[in-house]
C-alpha cells in the first residue's frame, strides 16, 4: 500500500441539534462519514481507510461499511474506537494503520465533518506528498478581518492586534503526512492527547511543534466543516447543486 487515511468520526452531534454522533447525521440521506469515506475512495489514491468511531457506536459505524469496504468501492475500511479528543482519536487510527496497512508510506487525516471535500482535493494533497513534501494542508484564504484579543478580568475582551489577513489561511482536511513524521509527532505530543484543553485541533500543529515544515495546497469551498445546523443546511444546498 502507498497511502492510508484516518477518518475521524468520534465527535458528538450536539451543536448540530442531533442526538446522533456527528458522523451518523444524515446529509442528503447518507451519513456524513460515508460521504467523506467515499471521497477518499473515489480519489483512487487512497488504499485503505481507518475510521475512528465513538466506542458506544462502534457497531453502528461498522455496519455502514458492509463487507469491510467503503460503499461503492473495493477500498478496505476498518472501524476502531476513538479517544476522548480528536488528537487521541487520530492516535488510535494511526495505531490501527500499523495493523492493517503497515507498509504504507503516506497517511491522510480527514474529518467526517468535512463530508463534501471532494476526490480532487484528496488527489491534490497526495500529489504534493508524492512530490517530496512531508506535511501538507489544504487551505483557503481568510476573507474576514480578524482580530487578536485578550481576556479582561471583568469577562470582556480587548482587541490587541489586527493581523494582515493576506498572510492568513483557514485550514481544511484531509491533511497529508509522511507516515513516519506523523507517528513521530504524535509520540512527541502524546502527553496532551487525553486533555481537551491541551490537545491540538489539527495534526499539522503536532508536526509544527517538532519544527518540521508544513506546506499548503489550495483547498475548496465545499470542504466546509459541518458543525452547526446552519452548516448542515448549507451543505444540503451544496449537495443538491452538485
pLDDT digits (tens, 9 = 90+) for 153-180: 999 999 999 999 999 999 999 999 999 9
Mean pLDDT of the chain: 94
User: Which percentage of the chain shows pLDDT scores above 70?
Assistant: 98
Q: How many domains does the chain have?
A: 1
| pLDDT for the residue numbered 18 | 74
CATH number at residue 60: 3.90.550.10
Do 83 and 10 contact (CB within 8 A), yes or no? yes
- Structural domain span for residue 101: 3-140+168-241
| pLDDT at residue number 10 | 79
Alpha carbons within 13 angstroms on the beta-carbon side of residue 165 total: 10
Q: How would residue 102 be classed by pLDDT, with cut points 50, 70 and 90?
A: confident
Asked if residue 8 is part of any domain, the answer here is: yes
| pTM of the predicted model as reported, rounded to 2 decimal places | 0.94
Amino acid at each position: 500500500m502507498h497511502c492510508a487515511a484516518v477518518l475521524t468520526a468520534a465527535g458528538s452531534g450536539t451543536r448540530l441539534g442531533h442526538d446522533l454522533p456527528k458522523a451518523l447525521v444524515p446529509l442528503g440521506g447518507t451519513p456524513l462519514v460515508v460521504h467523506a469515506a467515499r471521497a477518499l475512495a473515489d480519489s483512487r489514491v487512497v488504499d485503505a481507510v481507518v475510521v475512528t468511531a465513538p466506542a458506544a457506536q462502534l457497531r453502528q459505524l461498522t455496519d455502514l461499511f458492509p463487507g469491510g469496504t467503503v460503499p461503492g468501492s473495493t477500498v478496505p475500511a476498518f472501524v476502531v474506537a476513538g479517544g476522548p479528543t480528536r488528537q487521541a482519536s487520530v492516535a488510535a487510527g494511526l495505531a490501527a494503520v500499523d495493523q492493517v496497512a503497515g507498509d504504507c508510506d503516506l497517511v491522510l487525516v480527514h474529518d467526517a465533518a468535512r463530508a463534501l471535500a471532494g476526490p480532487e482535493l484528496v488527489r491534490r494533497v497526495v500529489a504534493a506528498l508524492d512530490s517530496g513534501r512531508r506535511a501538507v494542508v489544504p487551505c483557503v484564504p481568510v476573507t474576514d478581518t480578524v482580530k487578536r484579543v485578550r481576556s479582561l478580568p471583568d469577562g470582556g475582551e480587548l482587541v490587541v492586534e489586527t493581523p494582515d489577513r493576506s498572510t492568513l489561511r483557514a485550514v481544511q482536511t484531509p491533511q497529508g503526512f509522511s507516515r513516519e513524521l506523523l507517528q513521530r509527532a504524535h509520540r512527541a505530543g502524546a502527553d496532551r492527547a487525553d486533555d481537551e484543553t491541551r490537545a491540538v485541533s489539527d495534526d499539522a500543529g503536532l508536526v509544527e511543534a517538532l519544527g518540521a515544515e508544513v506546506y499548503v495546497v489550495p483547498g475548496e469551498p465545499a470542504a466546509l466543516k459541518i458543525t452547526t445546523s446552519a452548516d448542515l443546511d448549507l451543505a444540503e444546498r451544496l449537495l443538491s447543486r452538485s
